[in-house]
Amino acid sequence: MNLKIATAASMAALLLVACGPSAEEQAAAREKAVADSLAALASMEMTYTVDPAASKVVWAGTMLGIKTHTGSLNFIDGTVLTKGPSVTGGNFTVDMKNYALTDTNYAPDGSDKGTRAMLMGHLSSPDFFNVDSFPTATLKINSVTGNTATADLTVRGKTHGENITDIVVTPNADGTVKVSGKLTFDRQKYGVAWSSGSKDAVLNDNIETTVEITAKAAK
């Protein structure tokens, strides 16, 4: 190779190096790539399937001035729709026949009244949720604004619009997602109209529930 050709090649190489991205430009490009990835993740729409074994509805009903009973219900199935960190929709079916009572405000087993078994039977009866005729309850999310959703709740065959508040979406490292929210409904609207008949033992019309869902990405 003669000197002129070698010199020209060397100058071309130096020019290419000089024209390449600087360290600052490379850093900026990396930051942009990360930001673009996060933006894409934030706008990604996902569908999750509820894991019934890892999900539940926790409820509380209060006899005003006396005591509160608490319990949990299980999901039969359900779907959660998300976009980034927000819920955008969902459909859920809850088993009304198989549930647990979690408080301790009961008379000892074998007592004439006030036992855990008696309350379980009463809640299942037509006085309350009439589970033989209405074995499931359903919830359908219609719209979401911030961390509050409007939804159709169906209990005892009656459907009314309700609000789900304080919705939180937490992604897990294993690809599942946890979703929680609160829903309080007036039992009277759904025909759960039992009354003790005593002015000193009034059952609050409001039933407080907290939904705790673990869901897997749908395949």
Q: Which pLDDT score is estimated for 16? A: 47
Q: Which pLDDT score is estimated for 1? A: 47
Predicted confidence (pLDDT) at residue 130 exceeds the cutoff of 80: yes
Spatial distance between the Cα atoms of 155 and 139, rounded to a whole number of angstroms: 9
- Give the pLDDT mean for 28-50: 71
Predicted confidence (pLDDT) at residue 4 exceeds the cutoff of 60: no
Q: Are 129 and 156 in contact (CB under 8 A)?
A: yes
Q: Are 95 and 134 in contact (CB under 8 A)?
A: no
- Residue 166 falls in which region: left (phi positive, over 0), alpha (psi -120 to 50) or beta: left
- Measured in degrees and rounded to the nearest 5, phi and psi for residue 106 equal -135, 155
Out of 20-24, 42-46, 183-187, pick the least confident: 20-24
Predicted confidence (pLDDT) at residue 108 exceeds the cutoff of 90: yes
Rg, Å, the chain Cα set: 29
Spatial distance between the Cα atoms of 91 and 57, rounded to a whole number of angstroms: 14
Q: Are 91 and 138 in contact (CB under 8 A)?
A: yes
Fold of 45-217: Lipocalin (2.40.128)
**Residue 83 C-alpha from the chain's centroid:** 14
Residue pLDDT, tens place only, 162-210: 999 999 999 998 989 999 999 999 999 999 998 876 655 588 999 999 9
Spatial distance between the Cα atoms of 145 and 88, rounded to a whole number of angstroms: 9
Q: Which pLDDT score is estimated for 3? A: 44
Out of 26-40, 73-87, 95-109, 203-217, pick the least confident: 26-40
Cα separation values, 43 from 30, 91, 121, Å: 20, 21, 47
> Where exactly are the structural domains of the chain?
3-41, 45-217
Predicted confidence (pLDDT) at residue 7 exceeds the cutoff of 60: no
Q: Are 68 and 59 in contact (CB under 8 A)?
A: no
